[in-house]
Structure 1
Amino acid sequence: MAPNRKLLYKGDVNRIYDDEYKASQAAKKEKLFIRPSRQRKMKNAKWFGIGMGIDLPFCIILLVLLTIGTIMMFSASYAFAYYTQSDSYYFLIRQLIFVVVGIIAMGVMSFFNYNKLHKIAPLVLGIAYVCLLAVLVLPAGDGGVKRWIPLGMFNIQPSEIAKFAVILFFAHWASKYYDKMQLAKFSVLPGIIVFGSIAMLLFLEPHYSGIVIIGMLTVLMLYIGGMKTKYLLIGGVILGGLVLVLAVTGGLSYAMSRMDGWGQALEYTTEEMWQTTWQTRNSLYAIGSGGLWGLGLGQSRQKYLYLPEPQNDFIFAIVVEELGLIGAAIILLIFALLVWRGITLSLRSKDKFGKLLGIGLTSQIGIQVVLNILVITDWLPNTGISLPFFSYGGSSLIMLLAQMGIVLSISRTANIERQ
């Protein structure tokens, strides 16, 4: 308790004031010595740390994957680049440009208030529709497909924008109508309208792997958003019936052609089947050649014009050949850690929108990794699914890094105690 100065003599009062003054001056001196270190800690906390800055473990895992992916992309591509472009560094130089642009986009988005995306989710979905429509009026690319909007050395793939738009829109929708998501008109109906319209546009390209991924993302977002399980079962039956009708009527001729030779890469019986299964068969050769420890970094044999375009969808076959089963398992473990960390951060977000958005963006990585591995091992037909952070491509890499920046933005408000 403070002393009652009315009962003290004048000398005692002066002594008390003098002691308080000295104590205040000592406290100020202490602050002068301590404050710089505290300022440095607070400055670091704004960059890294849960609840105060972007999540450091997530950043490290992501940068490790990106570094390994870039190295392996160069290792897989330099022979093909020299043969087709007379420059072994052709794909590497461009990929490094995409990496720099993507990291800048990730940094910008990590400081962007992700809640502002809540308001513009319908607008982003509209932009995705415009891009999907625009690509249909442009000249067809290799193989007669229309999947890219050319912009000089950089091509935009509208399906990558559509993936993000679908995740964002359903995170917005489910968080806005969370209490009503068990009703079909608030879950099933929006899902059918959005996915159905996007699937139709992708069908015209055609881009069936994009339809599969966006369909899986739609189901995921609606389910975690509160949709009843029985609607998933009913939707699955309806979708299966639709696919069957299209297959019988010839509407899936392109997709059926991609299924020729599925599961028969090592059991070819005719010359035609030999050519059809060429890519998948050489993928299996590469995986088998790697063994337990691999042939060594840069020592792949299948990348020397045996495996077509090894820097793209089948890059992981080269990874297994050079790094072996052990190296491939470690990379898959790093992917699993990235997905786990991203979902953990998202679940600790303080708002429903952040939870749904973060889970959706992180789950896209896991979905594409699983599908890519199933394709290169002939468990799924060759449908052209890129491996995140490994496969060559600008729009995919930049979009993924920007989306990971949003996850980092969500981590700033994650309700987790700092370690």
Structure 2
Amino acid sequence: MATRADSKRGATVTRLPTARNSDTGEIPRKASFGRRIRKKFRLFSVRAGMDLPFFFLVLTLMVIGLIMLFSSSYAYAYYNYGNSYYFIIRQAGFAVAGIFIMVAISYFDYHHLHKLAIPILLVTYMLLVLVLFMPERNGVRRWIYLGPVNFQPSEIAKFALVLIFAHLISINFKRMSTFRYGVLPYLLILGSIAVLVLLEKHVSATLILVALAGVMLFIGGVQLRWFAIAFGVLGAAVAYIVLFSAKFGYASDRISGWLDPFGTTVDTWQTRQSLMSIGSGGLLGLGLGQSRQKYLYLPEPQNDFIFAVVCEELGFIGALLIVILFAMLVWRGITVSLKAKDKFGMLLGIGLTVQVGLQVILNIAVVTNTIPNTGISLPFFSYGGSSLMILLAEMGVVLSISRTSTIEKT
């Protein structure tokens, strides 16, 4: 300990010894502060560990989804491709790659997505415009083809919308009650994306985007009167379409088929076969692999209507257990997100989790003819490699958020 005399006051000042580097003798300046900064902005880190219940729920649904995909698709695959394993081999490969991606992203610090929100939105706009120039498939343009791989830009649009909304709301959280910061920018972003997706004739994706935007704005603190106005406009639009559906051609057929699925005025073959599959399953089902409707009666059973095969083979009990697993996944994801350490993580996690829940609800509603038939895939179950990988990547973001969440992770 060293001392020195103060020349002006004659007092003795005691200086505490300063830690020095034993090798160089240099005094480390703000070392601990520097370590905190580097740790905060580290691109990849373990942090407090990911949420294991959420992780295992994803894996459980993934495994069940692969089993049901194979069961529902092998007859169709053999008839059309001469290989019963055509779909399952490809989906399993994408699933394995997607799980690796999910785990890798879970180590990625989600705060860096703040800087990527606007670039990802701009890339999404480019893809949504590009897809309009792609070749038609079944009368619609939804896929961009890159050799043997194709993907739907609308899947990326869902993530981009959630990300940009989380980014802007977290920045303007205290001003969300105003029209300029709480309504206008989100209305412009949602409107522009929705118009481009509608041009693809992808109504189901548009519905999901609108619902996602509404959930995030509600959590963000937008005043309720704007929701009342939005519901009024939406209700008037739906009523107009129903009352004057003859003017809308494509939409008219869907509505007519929904109101009378066993009628003869429009082609409702897929809906009919779906309802017969569900009905024949009964309480306990016909048994795994024993579906009859998948033998070329139900069109493309590995895609949007795979839940009908689930009901037929596993029955009401099996289908209910799967719905419960989805509900547990959504509940856990929202719980993890609510305990995130910042508003950005909370909004981002809730948005990505709610997206899964919305798709499940809408898919089951279509399969059971609760709403008009429109193409909505069932997460983790429906065939589609690129969609599955995007979904697993989004689950990886939720797991990344869980690494700093204060929730118990075991």
TM-score scaled by length of structure 2? 0.86
**In structure 2, distance between residues paired with 1:277 and 1:250:** 17
Question: 1:259–1:298: structure 2 CA closer, same or farther, 3 Å change rule?
Answer: same
Report the AA paired with residue 289 of structure 2: G
- Pair 1:291 & 2:282 matched: yes
Range 225-234 or range 237-246, more displaced: 237-246
**In structure 2, distance between residues paired with 1:318 and 1:400:** 22
Q: Pick one of 318, 324, 327 that aligns with 1:327.
A: 318
**In structure 1, distance between residues paired with 2:389 and 2:71:** 21
Shift of 1:190: 1.7
Match of 2:29 in 1: none
Question: 1:304–1:417: structure 2 CA closer, same or farther, 3 Å change rule?
Answer: closer
Q: Does structure 2 retain, via aligned residues, the 8 Å contact 1:74–1:91?
A: yes
Match of 1:20 in 2: none
Q: Does structure 1 retain, via aligned residues, the 8 Å contact 2:154–2:205?
A: yes
Match of 1:352 in 2: 343
Question: 1:217–1:388: structure 2 CA closer, same or farther, 3 Å change rule?
Answer: same
Superposition pairs for residues 298-377 of structure 1, below 5 Å?
Answer: 298-377=289-368
Superposition pairs for residues 252-291 of structure 1, below 5 Å?
Answer: 252-266=248-262, 268=263, 270=264, 272-273=265-266, 276-291=267-282
Q: Deviations for 1:354-384, whole angstroms, at most 9, x for unmatched residues? A: 0000000001111010111110111101101
**In structure 2, distance between residues paired with 1:417 and 1:74:** 36
Shift of 1:86: 0.9
Q: Does structure 2 retain, via aligned residues, the 8 Å contact 1:160–1:395?
A: no
Match of 1:87 in 2: 83
Q: Does structure 2 retain, via aligned residues, the 8 Å contact 1:263–1:379?
A: no
1:297 counterpart SS class: coil
- Pair 1:55 & 2:44 matched: no
Superposition pairs for residues 19-418 of structure 1, below 5 Å?
Answer: 52-142=48-138, 144-242=139-237, 248=244, 252-266=248-262, 268=263, 270=264, 272-273=265-266, 276-417=267-408
Report the AA paired with residue 88 of structure 1: S
1:118 counterpart SS class: helix
Report the AA paired with residue 206 of structure 1: K
Question: 1:242–1:193: structure 2 CA closer, same or farther, 3 Å change rule?
Answer: farther
**In structure 1, distance between residues paired with 2:82 and 2:72:** 16
**In structure 2, distance between residues paired with 1:107 and 1:417:** 19
1:304 counterpart SS class: coil
Q: Deviations for 1:298-323, whole angstroms, at most 9, x for unmatched residues? A: 00000001100000000000001001
Q: Deviations for 1:214-242, whole angstroms, at most 9, x for unmatched residues? A: 01011111111111111011112223445
Shift of 1:180: 0.5
Range 334-343 or range 244-253, more displaced: 244-253
Q: Does structure 2 retain, via aligned residues, the 8 Å contact 1:121–1:165?
A: yes
Q: Does structure 1 retain, via aligned residues, the 8 Å contact 2:52–2:409?
A: no
| Structure 1 spans left out of the alignment, 5+ residues | 1-45
Q: Does structure 2 retain, via aligned residues, the 8 Å contact 1:346–1:414?
A: yes
Shift of 1:249: 9.3
Question: 1:418–1:392: structure 2 CA closer, same or farther, 3 Å change rule?
Answer: closer
1:409 counterpart SS class: helix
Range 395-404 or range 249-258, more displaced: 249-258
Shift of 1:243: 5.3
2:150 counterpart SS class: strand
1:150 counterpart SS class: strand
| Structure 2 spans left out of the alignment, 5+ residues | 1-44
Shift of 1:246: 7.0
Q: Does structure 2 retain, via aligned residues, the 8 Å contact 1:290–1:321?
A: yes
**In structure 2, distance between residues paired with 1:101 and 1:416:** 28
Question: 1:338–1:155: structure 2 CA closer, same or farther, 3 Å change rule?
Answer: same
Report the AA paired with residue 70 of structure 1: L
1:115 counterpart SS class: helix
Q: CA RMSD in A?
A: 1.7
Match of 2:10 in 1: none
Report the AA paired with residue 102 of structure 1: G
Shift of 1:351: 0.5
**In structure 1, distance between residues paired with 2:409 and 2:367:** 40
Question: 1:250–1:67: structure 2 CA closer, same or farther, 3 Å change rule?
Answer: same
Question: 1:250–1:285: structure 2 CA closer, same or farther, 3 Å change rule?
Answer: closer
TM-score scaled by length of structure 1? 0.84
State percent identity of aligned pairs. 56
Q: Does structure 2 retain, via aligned residues, the 8 Å contact 1:283–1:317?
A: yes
2:98 counterpart SS class: helix
Q: Does structure 2 retain, via aligned residues, the 8 Å contact 1:102–1:397?
A: yes
**In structure 1, distance between residues paired with 2:268 and 2:341:** 50
Q: Does structure 1 retain, via aligned residues, the 8 Å contact 2:245–2:251?
A: no
Question: 1:348–1:251: structure 2 CA closer, same or farther, 3 Å change rule?
Answer: farther
Match of 2:5 in 1: none
Range 287-296 or range 248-257, more displaced: 248-257
**In structure 2, distance between residues paired with 1:211 and 1:185:** 24
Range 183-192 or range 56-65, more displaced: 183-192
Count residues in correspondence. Answer: 365
Shift of 1:415: 1.2
Q: Does structure 2 retain, via aligned residues, the 8 Å contact 1:372–1:385?
A: yes
**In structure 2, distance between residues paired with 1:104 and 1:398:** 10
